[in-house]
Amino acid sequence: MRFVASHTTRFRYSKPVYLEPHVIRLRPRCDGFQRLLRYRLRVTPEPELLSEALDVEGNVVAHAWFSGLTQTLEVTSEFEVETLRINPFDYLVIGDGTGKLPFEYAVTVRGRLASSLARPAGADPAVDEFLRPILARSGRQPLAFLSVLNQAIHEACAVTVREHGEPLLPAQTLTAERVACRDLAVLFMDCCRAVGIAARFVSGYQEQGSGTRFMHAWAEVYLPGGGWRGYDPTQGLAVADRHVAVAAGNSPSEASPIQGSYRGDAEAAPLKAEIRIGRPDNG
């Protein structure tokens, strides 16, 4: 499936400021399941240096260095992507220790997945309580668990759009009246890590109907024989060809689209984002 998109983010300040270096994660993945056909990044004011690099999670990130004063910053990405994963279950889980939960990875990969397995210190027991019936319903089978968990979070939480702010803590998501997609992704990750399944946060886009568009967030889990596989608790679905992945990280901040700060005593207005995404045949 092909998508064309543009994504513009605007920052405005009450008086001129000096922009510190910024990290930009807006370049969609290009791998065996997603082909990047065209990509362009524009930054205004023009940086003194704009350099791309590959981070530890394999994301292509752009580093921007600025000089001089400005009252605005505008970042625009334009791309065309072809998504290739039609069947999200086209694999078999292999290896000892993967038959029943808690999941056990081979020693050869366990160390490399350590940061995707670690729960925050003092993890809330409310999450473990939430997991008890899910583990029972899935028979502690890993793939059944992931599907039941995905659906359970989808059914338990009412979703809204919250453009700004950090994700809620997992236990907060369980009690909140309405939550954002990033909250659900973080809850899904914590539940997976609680039973030994490595999980990470993904930012990107999804196929949407008409109306205002926003970036989307979901989670990926690492399964021997399947690699990193996406689950979207906002929709209660495994991720296939209707999602465009941009960046992944062990925490939401590591997949944040734009990170940076400024020097000066100005006040920053809430950022404004404009996203257009569609199919090449209908725009």
Is the domain of 112 the same as that of 232? yes
CB within 8 Å of 232: residues ≥ 6 apart:
150, 206, 216, 218, 219, 238, 239, 243
Is the domain of 43 the same as that of 132? no
- Average the pLDDT over each of 51-60, 130-139, 203-212, 264-273 and give the range with the smallest value: 203-212
- Percent of the chain past pLDDT 90, that is, above it, reads 86
pLDDT number for residue 78: 97
Is the domain of 223 the same as that of 269? no
Is the domain of 263 the same as that of 233? no
Q: Indicate the number of domains in the chain.
A: 2
Q: Does pLDDT of 9 surpass 50?
A: yes
Is the domain of 16 the same as that of 70? yes
Is the domain of 272 the same as that of 211? no
pLDDT number for residue 155: 95
Is the domain of 232 the same as that of 261? no
Q: Does pLDDT of 281 surpass 80?
A: no
Instruction: Let me know if residue 210 belongs to a domain.
Output: yes
Q: Rounded to a whole number, what is the largest CA-CA distance in the chain?
A: 61
Nearest to 4 by CA among 158, 205, 164, 193: 205
CATH number of 271's domain: 2.60.40.2250
Instruction: Let me know if residue 102 belongs to a domain.
Output: no
pLDDT number for residue 256: 95
Instruction: Let me know if residue 89 belongs to a domain.
Output: no
Is the domain of 271 the same as that of 208? no
Instruction: Let me know if residue 97 belongs to a domain.
Output: no
- pLDDT tens track for 81-90: 999 999 999 9
pLDDT number for residue 61: 97
Is the domain of 268 the same as that of 235? no
- pLDDT tens track for 235-244: 999 999 999 9
Is the domain of 160 the same as that of 128? yes
Instruction: Let me know if residue 224 belongs to a domain.
Output: yes
pLDDT number for residue 283: 44
- Is the CB of residue 3 less than 8 Å from the CB of residue 39? no
pLDDT number for residue 269: 93
Q: What is the DSSP letter of 210?
A: S
Instruction: Let me know if residue 93 belongs to a domain.
Output: no
pLDDT number for residue 210: 58
Tokens 């910053």 locate to 73
Is the domain of 21 the same as that of 116? no
* CB atoms near residue 21 (< 10 Å): 13
- pLDDT tens track for 118-169: 997 767 899 999 999 999 999 999 999 999 999 999 999 999 988 888 999 9
Q: Cis omega before residue 45 (within 30°)?
A: yes
Q: Does pLDDT of 38 surpass 60?
A: yes
For residue 88, which amino acid is it?
A: P
Q: Does pLDDT of 25 surpass 50?
A: yes
CATH number of 219's domain: 3.10.620.30
Q: How far apart are the first and last CA of the chain?
A: 13
Q: Does pLDDT of 3 surpass 50?
A: yes
- pLDDT tens track for 163-192: 888 999 999 999 998 999 999 999 999 999
Q: Does pLDDT of 6 surpass 70?
A: yes
pLDDT number for residue 211: 59
Query: In the beta sheet, which residues pair with residue 203?
Result: 217, 247
* CB atoms near residue 140 (< 10 Å): 16
What is 127-172 written as a DSSP string? HHHHHHHHHHHHTT-HHHHHHHHHHHHHHH-EE----SSPPPPHHH
- pLDDT tens track for 64-117: 999 999 999 999 999 999 999 999 999 999 887 788 999 999 998 999 999 999
Instruction: Let me know if residue 197 belongs to a domain.
Output: yes
- Higher-scoring residue by pLDDT: 217, 279: 217
Q: Which residues span the domain enclosing 181?
A: 107-240
- Percent of the chain past pLDDT 70, that is, above it, reads 98
What is 215-269 written as a DSSP string? -EEEEEEEETTTEEEEEETTTTEE--TTEEEEEEESSGGGG-SEE--EESSPPBP
Is the domain of 152 the same as that of 236? yes
Instruction: Let me know if residue 70 belongs to a domain.
Output: yes
